[in-house]
Amino acid sequence: MKQFLTILTLSLTVVLFSQCKTMKSKGQGIKGQVTWIEGNQMPMISEEGEAAPERKTGEPIQRKIIIYPLTKISDTKMENSLFTAVDGKPIAEVESDEEGNFEVELAPGQYSVFTQEEDGLFANSFDLNGNIQPIQVEKGNWSELNILVNYKAAY
């Protein structure tokens, strides 16, 4: 009898949990995490018998993320690795939280994503057509974009 009750309890648990829907954000847009890395990122040779120092992967940071329509490098001005002017107007802005996480709802389309830095805008990804940090948003889907802010790092 005890074995029957155990099997019945497990069966009911499986049936109940299989009926639960996973939580999914409605709409569509871009979500991800912003991290910061700086300093010497060159591989290092360790002394014999010593472990090589671990490479940093980035620390989560709070930043304002600015979304523009898909933008080409030729439509911007750059100075010291930062964009100082971008033709066009931003479509959306969002602030990442303390863990660097952000989410912004957008209409389906193609966008360029920048972070706001003290002396300008930052982006470090480009496609073969010269588009800056391009990302595609499709209807009903969330596109993931993790941003590594690394303009003060040396590789």
Residue-range domain boundaries for the chain: 28-40+58-154
The CATH code belonging to domain 28-40+58-154 is: 2.60.40.10
Indicate if the alpha-carbon torsion angle 100, 101, 103, 109 is positive or negative.
positive
pLDDT at 114: 99
Q: What is the mean pLDDT of each run of 10 residues along the chain (155 residues)?
A: 53 50 71 92 73 76 98 97 97 98 98 98 97 98 97 81
Can you give the pLDDT at residue 23?
45
Phi, psi of 77 (to 5 degrees): -125, 140
- pLDDT at position 113 is 99
| pLDDT value of position 20 | 46
Q: Could you tell me which of 143, 92, 96, 146 has the C-alpha nearest to residue 124?
A: 146
pLDDT at 42: 78
The whole-model pTM stands at 0.76
Sort strands 92-95 and 64-69 into parallel, antiparallel or unpaired.
antiparallel
> Which pLDDT does position 1 carry in this prediction?
56
- CA nearest to 96, candidates 74, 63, 69, 125: 63
